[in-house]
Amino acid sequence: MTTFWSTEPEFHGIYEEFSSGRARVRTLNELRDLIEDSVYWVEGRIVDVDSTKSFCFLSCRICGKQIEDVDGMKRCFQCAEYTFKYIFRYNVEVIVADDTGSSTFVLQNKACEKLIGKPVADVIAQYGDTARTMPQSIKENFLGQKGLFEVVVSSEQTHLQFFNVSRLTVDKEIKEL
Ligand SMILES: [Zn+2]
C-alpha cells in the first residue's frame, strides 16, 4: 500500500466516532436482526471476492446510478435523460466473515480505491473497462484484508442479502483507534 491512511480527513472522522464512543459496532450475526435504521461498524475479514463480474460500472455523474446503453446512446434512468455526464466507479462484491458468520458486502468507489491503492481510471487504463472478470492482481488487494466496515442498515433493506459499505478502515488504522 502506498498511502498513510491516517492522514486522510475521513480517518479523522472515524477516529472521532470511536474515541467518543459514538461508533456502534455489531457482529455479522447481530446485523441481521437489527431493525433500527442506522449505520453500524462490523469488524471482519474479506474471505472471498466475486471476480466473475467487472470491478467497475459506468455511472451517472449527477446521481451515481448505473448508465444504460440505449440504441448506442448513454442514458440514466434515474435522471431519465440521455447524457454525456458519466464516469466509471468501482463496485466490488466481497464476502466478509467474522466469528459469528459471513455476509456479502458491496464495496463502493472510495472503499475500493483505498484497498487497491489507485483510482479506477488507472486500473481501466491498465486492463480496459470492458474486463468482464476481475484481474487476479486486483482481486489480491481485497483477499484477506481485515478491517472495520461501516454498513448501512435500513428496514426497507432487510430482505436484501447484502449490505452496502459506506466507509472502511483497514487493520493498520484500527490499531490507532
Ligand atoms: Zn443520473
Q: How far is the CA of 16 from the centre of ligand 1 (A)?
A: 33
pLDDT at residue number 135 = 86
Q: How far is the CA of 154 from the centre of ligand 1 (A)?
A: 23
Q: How far is the CA of 94 from the centre of ligand 1 (A)?
A: 25
Q: How far is the CA of 63 from the centre of ligand 1 (A)?
A: 4
Q: What is the pLDDT of residues 15-36, one digit of tens each?
A: 888 888 898 999 999 888 777 7
Contact indicator for 120, 109 with CB cutoff of 8 Å: yes
| Residue position matching grid coordinates 470491478 | 55
Q: How far is the CA of 59 from the centre of ligand 1 (A)?
A: 8
148 Cβ contact list (under 8 Å, min separation 6): 14, 25, 41, 42, 43, 168, 169, 174
Q: What is the pLDDT of residues 55-64, one digit of tens each?
A: 999 999 999 8
18 Cβ contact list (under 8 Å, min separation 6): 177
Rg (CA), the chain: 17
| Residue position matching grid coordinates 475479514 | 45
Q: How far is the CA of 87 from the centre of ligand 1 (A)?
A: 11
Q: How far is the CA of 11 from the centre of ligand 1 (A)?
A: 29
**pLDDT tens per residue across all 177 residues of the chain:** 333 344 566 777 888 888 888 989 999 998 887 777 888 999 999 999 998 888 999 999 999 899 998 888 999 989 888 888 899 999 999 999 999 999 999 999 999 999 999 999 999 888 877 666 788 899 999 999 999 999 988 776 666 678 999 889 886 666 666
Q: How far is the CA of 177 from the centre of ligand 1 (A)?
A: 37
Q: How far is the CA of 54 from the centre of ligand 1 (A)?
A: 21
pLDDT at residue number 5 = 45
